[in-house]
Amino acid sequence: MTRLRKDPRVWGTGSGSGSGTERGIVRVDTPEGLSAIRRPDCAAVIWQRSPLPRFQTWIDGLAREQLPRTRVILRSELVRDTITTVAQTCGTPECAEREMLVEDVSALAAVFANVANARYLRLRLDIVTTDACRKFHVDAVRARLVCTYRGTGTQYGHLSGGGEPQGVFSVPTGAPTVMRGTLWPEIPASGLLHRSPPIGGTGETRLLLVLDPIDDPEEEPEDHVVH
């Protein structure tokens, strides 16, 4: 497995609150800790880390049309070259910060492929400017990794008796999160829901990485497959 280094030149040390568990949510300080999603008591794992200010300043300052965007199915070892090509095609400026982004997406893909035991991944880099997926839900997948590189992070909460979360919390920008989906054999259900933050009308632009495990690319005809 490719190891995702916690390189101080790229990522900071996170919130400093350390590893811990809160009602089905495990917080970890290393990429290897994302494997905690396999624990019976775990519905989601958040790797607590923060991007360096110069990286965040760079990505926040890019014009919307310069942000990399794609939807593709591929093996994890092809992610680096694919995202490099995507960045070039989208006009993302070539610089050290772009290389940080490419390397991070590639390394997260390798880690998640191992955690989810996935032969292929569906990789999405989405530019979000609306209230897409603003309703709380659980994804119809086995597991999903999300990482918000720009903008407000994914929001989550636990289901209450009235059908809405008792409290709403946001994953920090830059913090990768692995969540179980409806296809995970989980009994009983954890009640953990999530959504995209409602940003419609605010002028905010989010850049979101989404990784899903794919067993057979031939069953996903709507997606381009990289071989």
Residue pLDDT, tens place only, 161-190: 666 787 888 999 999 999 999 888 766 667
Residue-level pLDDT at 164: 75
Q: With pLDDT > 90 as the criterion, what percentage of the chain qualifies? A: 61
Residue-level pLDDT at 187: 61
Report residue 22's pLDDT band, with 50, 70 and 90 as the boundaries: low
Residue-level pLDDT at 80: 98
Report residue 204's pLDDT band, with 50, 70 and 90 as the boundaries: very high
**Is the CB of residue 69 less than 8 Å from the CB of residue 127?**
yes
Interval 107-162: pLDDT, tens: 999 999 999 999 999 999 999 998 877 788 788 899 999 999 999 999 998 887 66
Interval 38-53: pLDDT, tens: 998 899 999 999 998 9
Burial class of residue 198 in the structure, from the number of CB atoms within 10 Å of its CB (0-12 exposed, 13-18 middle, 19+ buried): middle
**Is the CB of residue 128 less than 8 Å from the CB of residue 208?**
yes
User: Residues near 75 by Cβ (< 8 Å), separated by ≥ 6?
Assistant: 113, 119, 120, 121, 226
Strand, helix or coil at 105?
helix
Strand, helix or coil at 126?
strand
User: Residues near 77 by Cβ (< 8 Å), separated by ≥ 6?
Assistant: 110
pLDDT of 99 above 60: yes
What are the φ and ψ backbone dihedral angles of 135, each rounded to 5 degrees? -85, 140
Report residue 2's pLDDT band, with 50, 70 and 90 as the boundaries: very low
For every residue of 135-148, DSSP letters joined together read S-B--SSSEEEEEE
Residue-level pLDDT at 170: 92
